Structure 1
Amino acid sequence: MTVVIVPYGRPKGDIVRTAYADAGLSDADFELEPEEISKGLRTLNSMMQGWPFNLMGFQQPDYGLGLPEDGSGLDDEDIDGVTMSLAFRLAAGMGKMLSQDVKARYAPTIAALRAKYAVIPTMPFARSTPRGAGSRGLFDGPYIFTD
C-alpha cells in the first residue's frame, strides 16, 4: 500500500509573489525573474524554521528549494503574517524600505500570529502548597496533593 501525502494550503510561489508585492516589486509592474523566485523560496524555507513559524505545519521540501507550485501546508489565517515577515526579509536583502502601509499592517498581524502559537507554560503545584482559607471543609486536608 502506497501512502501519498498531498500538502494543502496556498502554493509557495503565491506567498513569495505576495511578499515581493508588499516589498514594492509587484509581479504586475516588474516581471519577477526565476532567480528572484528561487531567492524568495530559499528565504521562505529558512524563515519557516524559526519560531513561531516552525509551529505552523509548513511543508519543507525534501531536497533543494522545492517548486513554486508546491503546497505550503499553512492555514489561510496565517498567510498574511508569513507574507509580511517574508517581505521584511526580502526588502532588507534588496536594500529597500517598506511603505508605511505595510509597516502599519505588520505589527498587529505578527502580534496575533505570535499569540496564536504562544505556548503557555504550566507547572504542577508543589506537594506542600496550601489550599487557602476559602476551601475549608471541602477537601481532606489543608494542602494540595497532586499524586
Structure 2
Amino acid sequence: MGDLDIRPAGADDVPAIVALLADDPLGAQRESPDDLAPYYAALERLSGDPNQHLIVAVREGRVIGTLQLTVVPGLSRRGATRSIIESVRVHAGERGSGLGTRLIQWAIDESRRQGCQLVQLTSDRTRTDAHRFYERLGFTASHVGFKLQL
C-alpha cells in the first residue's frame, strides 16, 4: 500500500471527499460537488462531536479513500456501545488494491478501542459488489433496513 496515511479529515479534504462520494451512479444523484458549503458545515458539526470520526486515506498528498465511523452508546444488548460505518468510498483507480479492507480494519480497530461490542453498516441494495466485499470481511446481512426521507 506504499506510504498510506489514514487520518482525520480536515477542511482541505472536503472537495476530494465530495468527489469520492459523487463518483458512482447513486452518489451522482445525491451529492452536489458544485456547492461545498453544506459539506463544510457538516464537517464542522462532525468535528465538534467526539462520537464522529470522518477519516481519509491519503497517498502522496492525494485523498484516495474515506469513511465515517459513528460511535453510538446504547441501552439494548446489556448497555452495549455499537459503531456504524457509513460513506465508505475508494477512488476508482484504487479499487481492488486492498485499500477498502484497510479502511474497514481501521474502523473495526477504532470501534474496539472505543469499547464497542458491535460494528454495523448499511449498503444500498444495488451495491452487490460492496455486499460481497463486506461478507468477505466477516459482516453478515442480518437485518432489513428502512429509511424515511425527511
TM-score, structure 1 normalization: 0.31
Structure number with the higher helix fraction is: 1
Structure number with the higher strand fraction is: 2
Higher CA-based Rg: 1
Structure with more relative contact order (C-alpha pairs < 8 Å, separation 6 or more):
1
